[in-house]
Amino acid sequence: MPPSNTAEHASRSGTAKKAGDRGPKATPAPWEVEVFFDGDCPLCAREIRMLMRLDEPARRIRFTDISAPDFDAGNVGLSLEALMDRIHGRLPNGELVEGVEVFRRLYEAVGFRRLVKLTRLPGVSHLLDVCYTLFAKNRLRLTGRCAPGACEVPARGKA
């Protein structure tokens, strides 16, 4: 039986394999996109919970929480800092996507393909990219995660 796509399994596993590591029988991935998200970010966690509900029972999305203690950024090929700077996703073929494109892939996976088409229109696409970049640079402050005098992600093992 394939593992469930629950917050406990997929979002805490952090053990994603690369597309070429499937073993002798290369079967298609059971998911369309893997999302690397910051589970300690209240806004991010809320969006992920909504996507998890929308993804049931199809399970087209693999959720990986980069704030989980056992998460290993080396399995992704990026540093934890890079993963924290912008949202990232991985496609079944191993290709990494980031920023607004991750959200497009997530919302396509849960059935909002027409809405996603609108986000690809030239003016809309540019506006979304600018808005996401501004949010990503300020998300710690916007979500109340800045310590007095500093606005950075706490080191692992520290509160």
- Residue corresponding to tokens 């796509």: 5
- Enter the DSSP assignment of 150: B
Cα–Cα distance measured from residue 49 to residue 109, given in angstroms and rounded to the nearest whole number:
15
Specify the pTM: 0.75
Residue 26's pLDDT is what?
57
Cα–Cα distance measured from residue 145 to residue 154, given in angstroms and rounded to the nearest whole number:
9
Q: Percent of the chain having pLDDT more than 90?
A: 63
- Residue corresponding to tokens 């949202």: 87
Residue 152's pLDDT is what?
63
* Nearest C-alpha neighbor of 76 from the set 104, 97, 60: 97
pLDDT higher at 6 or 78: 78
Q: Using one digit for the tens of pLDDT, what is the confidence trace for 118-145?
A: 999 999 999 999 999 999 998 888 877 7
